[in-house]
Structure 1
Amino acid sequence: MTIADTDTARTHWTGTADAAERAQWDAVAEGVADQLAVDALARDRANAQPFAEKRLLQESGLTTLLDPAELGGGGAHWESAYRAVRIIARRDASIAQLLGYHYINSANIALIAPPAERERWFRASIAERWLWGDSVNPVDPNLTLTEDGEGFRLDGFKRFSTGSGVGEALLVNAVVKGGDRDGEFAYLVLPFGHPGVELVDDWDHLGQRLSASNTVRYHDVRVKPAHVLGFGTDEPLQSFVTPGIQLVFANLYLGIAEGALEQARALTVARPNAWFLSGVPTYADDPFVRRLYGELVSRVAAVEALADVVGREFDAAIGRGADVTAEDRADLAYRIAQLKVVSSDTAVDVANRVYEATGASSTASKVGLDLHWRNVRTHSLHDPVDYKKLEVGARFLTGVVQPISLYT
């Protein structure tokens, strides 16, 4: 089958992942996670642009996991991609974010590009193993895109541009000002090092320090027709980018929670003796410690179960392609919002409360248990989880569907 054969379906994704596919890509992700775990804390503290980590993702095949098999991609499903993000987040949430955003950004080939142009984009991205960064922060409407001959001129800036510091392809969103396409929402793809694009190495935050989420400034940037991926429409399929990225977030938070529990368990089991009032020989025998882990492990298991189900639901919905409806999209967004609520709240709580079991010694800088909390505390502020709770509550009570945006 060729890309042209999928034109009426609008995407090449069909069906859902089977056990063999999940096992294959889980193993790949676990191998990458093991390599990242060796020096995750040291790299976090160095706060350098993650070029080496990006190459690790590319060489593993994870960056082409979702791309069409007939063009050299992995031919896998979204569930496998989300599981990969989750697995890597257990060890290095920054690089998991880099990968998850790449999946969503590169998916715009299928969601946005005209059918006749998709194969060109896929072939370039697969052959050159592009990692896709983005410069689309909707709370920074500070870009000016004006018609200029056959192309455009781009000026302004965007903060929080994940992957921009290391990605071969930079996805940019801007509204056209003037000309025949005045007011249209444009999707642009600029190569790394494009003239006039200034990458500002200013990402120095509490967590997610290696996500390359810099500020990008655009100085009279020439945008040729070949750089235009497409333009926004009212087609429901195009808007899957928002529930898609929110599902990345949920799996990112879940992976962080799982990583925090795993490290905390090792620290707890290794603690000598026990609290003098406990009457038991070790901290692992302490009933209060066991109760704490019983609660946290159970909550994380529940989030994992929901994440697995919703990941398959995403595949089923996006697999409908051009036949997907606005109601399908609303139902999916509602389910993902539920997952976003429980994954965010659970991960922040887990990364905080594991200290109650690991004790004061685990706050030593060399231990690095704080990395999980710093990462989830930073990224969970991406968009307020309270508004996701309102979204779920409104839909449950009155059937209200939130207007489509880059956050809903």
Structure 2
Amino acid sequence: MSIPSAQAPCLPPLLGDLFPARPVQGEAGAVLLRAQAVIDTVIAPTAAQRDREGGYPHQAMAALKATGVLALAVPRAWGGLGVTQALSLEFMLRLAVADPAIAQIYKVHDDLVREIFVYAPAALRPVLARRIVHEHVILGMAVAENGRRADSFMQTLARPGHAGTHVVSGRKIYATGASGADLVAVSSFDPVRAQQAGGSVRAGVRMDLVPRGAAGLRFHHDWNRMGQRATDSGTVTLENVVVDDFWNALAPDTALPQHVALRFQAGFSAILTGIGIGALRAVCAFVPDHARPWGAAGVDSADQDPYVRRLLGEIGADLFGAWCSVAQAGRLLDQHEQGEVPRAMVAMAASAARSVATRAALRAASEAPAAAGARGTDAAQGLDRYWRDARTLSLHDPVDWKNAEIGRNLLTGWVPEPGPYQ
């Protein structure tokens, strides 16, 4: 991270000198500064309330959309800002410090934009870019299905309709961002197209961008988890939803990018690290004026207690390491897209970041409150939401598999095959 000059506009520090101010420049920098102002004045002050109430955060997202951040990942060739994945990850982290649910909603949009502009038909790209850049359209996702295994897909079916349309029916789970999205990315399988292509499964896979108000598209608002409550990541059903083939973002003859899962993992790691930073910041703000020092410490205030300093310092060091690992994964993702590093190198970095960030976030959220003492458990402080958010997000897929993949690579030189989760 570069050292800011006195004149350069900067995003504010997040964790003292461990995560200092970040200089920004140009149009993207102006957008990020506006977004940071919304984070500080709109999103952060109301995060605890959204955690209590659940549901999609319409007001906060409307304020964020108005800053222009949805265009960050749109390629410059199509009128977007084309920022690096490393910068997108830092923005996700900054959002997560304030409200990780909003960070996850933004992450879905950022990931989808980067993915779709790789494989979308040529005619769709400029249309989609204009809608995102000029109309602040946000994308949501309805892909996961309730199969026997976590990687079971293609239960949602598409059948040919009239005059360049398909009719889609199925049930989706974990549909983060879908209920408040302007366009919902819905995956489905067209068995007719697959058969026509000689039995090619790939040829039958679709990714339609469905308007939120489409007839037959229903959001059940049944997300009732202990954390990440404001993602509204519940069930979505489609009953004979008619989709225009123009909005099938997955061109049948386009090769799929092989690092999508790695980008997803890096984003989760950024959000987890942000949750940990948020928890540590909240405790550090509470301790000096509100925590009581232990009598045996022989000090006048809890922030002078050497054990409090040691605990929070260790947690800060853990989070510093987590952020460094996320930043490295982001840099390697960018380098991989430029053809500079192999996928295996990115895969190991993404798995390492997920491992380190998970441990750092859970420790920060569960152990940092010890420095606040019993007074810190007052519901008004809301310290419990950090652990609930971190624990919920950490279970998106098992981190033990990330550690095992790293170990297998170290022991045998094994290289993971591209897949939904590796």
Residues of 2 paired with 1:49 and 1:110: CA distance? 26
Q: Does 1:223 align with 2:243?
A: yes
Cα shift at 1:269:
1.4
Among 407, 412, 417, the residue aligned to 1:398: 412
Contact 1:147/1:177 (8 A) holds in 2? no
1:226 is paired with a residue of what secondary structure?
Answer: helix
Among 319, 325, 333, the residue aligned to 1:300: 319
Q: Does 1:357 align with 2:371?
A: yes
The one-letter code sitting in structure 2 at the alignment partner of 1:228 is N
1:190 is paired with a residue of what secondary structure?
Answer: strand
2:141 is paired with a residue of what secondary structure?
Answer: strand
- TM-score normalised to the size of structure 1? 0.88
Query: Per-residue CA shift, 1:17-40, capped at 9, x if unaligned?
Result: 996368656534421221211121
Contact 2:124/2:247 (8 A) holds in 1? no
Residues of 2 paired with 1:212 and 1:319: CA distance? 35
**Who is 2:187 aligned against?**
173
Q: Does 1:407 align with 2:421?
A: yes
Bigger Cα displacement from structure 2, 109-118 vs 193-202? 109-118
**Who is 1:255 aligned against?**
274
Pick closer, same or farther for the CA change 1:98–1:278 going to 2, 3 Å. Answer: same
Residues of 2 paired with 1:50 and 1:210: CA distance? 6
Over the aligned positions, Cα root-mean-square deviation in angstroms equals 2.2
**Who is 1:6 aligned against?**
none
The one-letter code sitting in structure 2 at the alignment partner of 1:130 is V
- TM-score normalised to the size of structure 2? 0.86
Cα shift at 1:305:
1.8
Residues of 2 paired with 1:197 and 1:272: CA distance? 50
Residues of 2 paired with 1:116 and 1:18: CA distance? 37
Contact 2:31/2:68 (8 A) holds in 1? no
Q: Does 1:20 align with 2:40?
A: no
**Who is 1:338 aligned against?**
352
Q: Does 1:143 align with 2:156?
A: yes
Pick closer, same or farther for the CA change 1:55–1:264 going to 2, 3 Å. Answer: same
Query: Pairwise mapping of residues 1-80 of structure 1 onto structure 2 (< 5 A)?
Result: 20=25, 24=30, 26-34=32-40, 35-69=42-76, 71-80=78-87
Cα shift at 1:159:
0.7
Query: Per-residue CA shift, 1:301-355, capped at 9, x if unaligned?
Result: 11112222222221222234xxx8xx72222122111101100111011100012
**Who is 1:283 aligned against?**
302
The one-letter code sitting in structure 2 at the alignment partner of 1:171 is A
**Who is 1:10 aligned against?**
none
The one-letter code sitting in structure 1 at the alignment partner of 2:342 is D
2:169 is paired with a residue of what secondary structure?
Answer: strand
1:239 is paired with a residue of what secondary structure?
Answer: coil
Query: Per-residue CA shift, 1:52-97, capped at 9, x if unaligned?
Result: 1221221011111111346442232222211111001101111011
Residues of 2 paired with 1:77 and 1:242: CA distance? 17
1:214 is paired with a residue of what secondary structure?
Answer: coil
Query: Per-residue CA shift, 1:349-368, capped at 9, x if unaligned?
Result: 11000121111111111111
Query: Per-residue CA shift, 1:105-154, capped at 9, x if unaligned?
Result: 12232222134432222223322211110011153633122333543221
**Who is 1:200 aligned against?**
220
**Who is 1:382 aligned against?**
396
Contact 1:25/1:80 (8 A) holds in 2? no
Contact 2:259/2:418 (8 A) holds in 1? no
The one-letter code sitting in structure 2 at the alignment partner of 1:111 is V
Residues of 1 paired with 2:378 and 2:356: CA distance? 29
Residues of 1 paired with 2:53 and 2:243: CA distance? 35
Pick closer, same or farther for the CA change 1:272–1:176 going to 2, 3 Å. Answer: closer
Pick closer, same or farther for the CA change 1:191–1:218 going to 2, 3 Å. Answer: same
Cα shift at 1:271:
2.6
Pick closer, same or farther for the CA change 1:147–1:30 going to 2, 3 Å. Answer: same
Query: Identity, % of aligned pairs?
Result: 27
Among 98, 107, 110, the residue aligned to 1:103: 110
* Count of aligned positions: 386
**Who is 2:133 aligned against?**
126
Pick closer, same or farther for the CA change 1:122–1:403 going to 2, 3 Å. Answer: same
Cα shift at 1:102:
0.7
Bigger Cα displacement from structure 2, 55-64 vs 150-159? 150-159
Cα shift at 1:272:
5.0
Gaps in structure 2 of 5+ consecutive residues: 1-21
Q: Does 1:187 align with 2:193?
A: no
Residues of 2 paired with 1:343 and 1:24: CA distance? 29
Residues of 2 paired with 1:232 and 1:18: CA distance? 42
Residues of 2 paired with 1:23 and 1:345: CA distance? 31
Query: Per-residue CA shift, 1:238-262, capped at 9, x if unaligned?
Result: 1222111111101001111111110
Gaps in structure 1 of 5+ consecutive residues: 1-16
